[in-house]
């Protein structure tokens, strides 16, 4: 405990000494993205802010002992997690509506509604969630953190990425912060928030680690983050967070069954950003649609590491023939269908792509166009 107190005090002290070249009225201090309110003082080019303001913004407990004229800053891992959940909670919503899918399945549970979770990403009411959360419901309603219910409209949904954008008529909401996906590594802490099983469990928090990144799952279009944080029915569409409270993924599914334990998946934040950017730019997702079919090796199908490329099965493209083996697209090596889709997600210019392939003993590079 003593070491953690010293660490918290050291971090706070470092923040106090942040260099600045501005008037005190213009200086803003942020801790983990949240502005710290407190009197700011400038002296000799150094910015000072009360220790209590910075420490409490970090979730620490600050106690003043007048007898010994000492300040005690207590900071634990639990304090940090509780503060994170408190800060991020208003960015998480629940989504509910009348179920219009398989009525025989609904009858089993005597329930005509379905629900999931979502994340506010723009303060004027834009929400990201799973496509499968909104695909079979009508009379969609969004439940905010404070329990307020607001009608929602599905602006866009995409089955391939399993993502959808919902809009509500509200402003001044708290948007989530997005993590840099390059900073997401196996072993780092993962925190999931959502409404598992029932809306009475709104804002339920589970914790685990990132078990893996860029994980292909079956025949899914893109790759996933694997986590052992519990994700149950109703968590879908909610956030997977890092210890800064930043979005690293959108929770999409958990696997249960005999011999299966702590196996859950989230859509990575880079895919989330791709879908949002495509919608903002085009109103839809512009994907490559080349006149050919590809087949991955048996190793790729079962998950064995391989350097084999993708075999062209059929082709209406003059540059490619059946039997050619594509090894790269736009300079990125591809060994599976998921590799192909991920590479095009990151590099497709909307019309053409450069493919590297082998035909017999020849290595060939060609530019192909999208229909």
* Tens-digit pLDDT profile for residues 104-130: 554 444 557 788 899 999 999 999 999
pLDDT score at 100: 81
Share of the chain above pLDDT 70, in %: 81
pLDDT score at 102: 67
Q: Which residue has the tokens 């997702």?
A: 285
pLDDT at 260 over 70: no
Share of the chain above pLDDT 90, in %: 57
Query: What is the DSSP code string of 16-78?
Result: HT-B--S-GGG--EEETTEEEPS--EEETTEEE--HHHHHHHTT-EEEEETTTTEEEEE--HH
Closest CA to 188 of 237, 239, 231, 228: 228
Tell me how far CA of residue 101 lies from CA of 132, 252, 254, in angstroms. Answer: 11, 18, 21
* Contacts of 11 by beta carbon, 8 Å cutoff, 6+ apart: 58
| Catalytic residue selected from 132, 157, 270, 315 | 132
pLDDT score at 19: 41
Q: Which two tokens stand for residue 136?
A: 């079979």
CB 166 within 8 A of CB 143: no
pLDDT average, residue stretch 211-239: 91
pLDDT score at 198: 76
**pLDDT-based confidence at residue 81 (cuts at 50, 70, 90):** confident
pLDDT score at 233: 80
Q: Which two tokens stand for residue 149?
A: 């219910």
- Phi, psi of 208, deg, nearest 5: -165, -150
Most confident segment among 189-198, 215-224, 317-326: 317-326
Q: What domains are defined for the chain?
A: 2-75 (no CATH), 87-168 (2.40.10.10), 185-274 (2.40.10.10), 292-369 (2.30.42.10)
Report pLDDT digits (tens) over 170-185.
999 999 999 999 999 9
CB 320 within 8 A of CB 357: yes
| Catalytic residue selected from 162, 270, 324, 339 | 162
| Catalytic residue selected from 94, 211, 236, 264 | 236
pLDDT average, residue stretch 347-369: 93
pLDDT at 276 over 50: yes
Q: Which residue has the tokens 């803003």?
A: 28
The answer to whether residue 135 is catalytic is: no
- pTM, full prediction: 0.77
pLDDT average, residue stretch 31-42: 70
In the three-class reduction of DSSP (H, G, I as helix; E, B as strand; rest coil), residue 297 is classed as coil
Question: 326 versus 39: which is more confidently predicted?
Answer: 326
pLDDT score at 13: 46
The answer to whether residue 162 is catalytic is: yes
What is the C-alpha to C-alpha distance for residues 32 and 81, in angstroms, rounded to an integer?
Answer: 13
The answer to whether residue 25 is catalytic is: no
pLDDT score at 14: 44
């Amino acid at each position: 405990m003593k070491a953690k107190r010293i660490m918290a005090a050291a971090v706070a002290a470092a923040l106090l000494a942040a260099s600045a070249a501005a008037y005190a009225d213009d200086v803003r201090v942020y801790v983990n993205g949240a502005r710290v309110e407190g009197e700011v003082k400038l002296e000799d080019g150094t910015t000072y802010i009360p220790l209590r303001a910075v420490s409490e913004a970090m979730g620490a407990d600050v106690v003043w002992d007048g007898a010994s004229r000492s300040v005690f800053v207590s900071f634990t891992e639990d304090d940090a997690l509780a503060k994170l959940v408190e800060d991020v909670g208003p960015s998480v919503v629940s989504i509910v509506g009348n179920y219009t899918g398989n009525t025989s399945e609904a009858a089993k549970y005597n329930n005509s509604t379905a629900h999931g979770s979502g994340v506010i990403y723009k303060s004027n009411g834009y929400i990201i969630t799973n496509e499968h959360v909104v695909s079979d419901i009508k009379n969609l309603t969004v439940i905010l953190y404070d329990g307020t219910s607001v009608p929602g409209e599905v602006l866009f949904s995409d089955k391939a990425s399993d993502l959808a954008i919902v809009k509500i008529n509200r402003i001044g909401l708290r948007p989530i912060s997005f993590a840099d996906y390059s900073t997401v590594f196996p072993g780092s802490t993962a925190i999931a928030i959502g409404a598992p099983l029932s809306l009475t469990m709104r804002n339920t928090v589970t914790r685990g680690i990132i078990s893996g990144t860029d994980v292909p799952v079956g025949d899914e279009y893109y790759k996933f983050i694997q986590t052992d944080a519990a994700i149950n029915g109703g968590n879908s569409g909610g956030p997977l967070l890092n210890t800064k409270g930043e979005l690293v993924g959108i929770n999409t599914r958990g696997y249960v069954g005999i011999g299966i334990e702590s196996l859950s998946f989230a859509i990575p934040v880079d895919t989330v950003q791709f879908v949002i950017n495509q919608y903002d730019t085009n109103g839809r997702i512009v994907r490559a649609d080349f006149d050919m079919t590809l087949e991955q090796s048996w190793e790729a199908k079962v998950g064995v590491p391989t350097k084999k490329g993708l075999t062209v099965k059929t082709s209406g493209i003059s540059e490619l023939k059946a039997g050619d083996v594509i090894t790269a697209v736009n300079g990125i090596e591809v060994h599976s269908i998921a590799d192909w889709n991920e590479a095009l997600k990151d590099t497709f210019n909307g019309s053409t792509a450069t493919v590297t392939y082998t035909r017999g003993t020849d290595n060939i590079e060609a530019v192909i166009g999208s229909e």
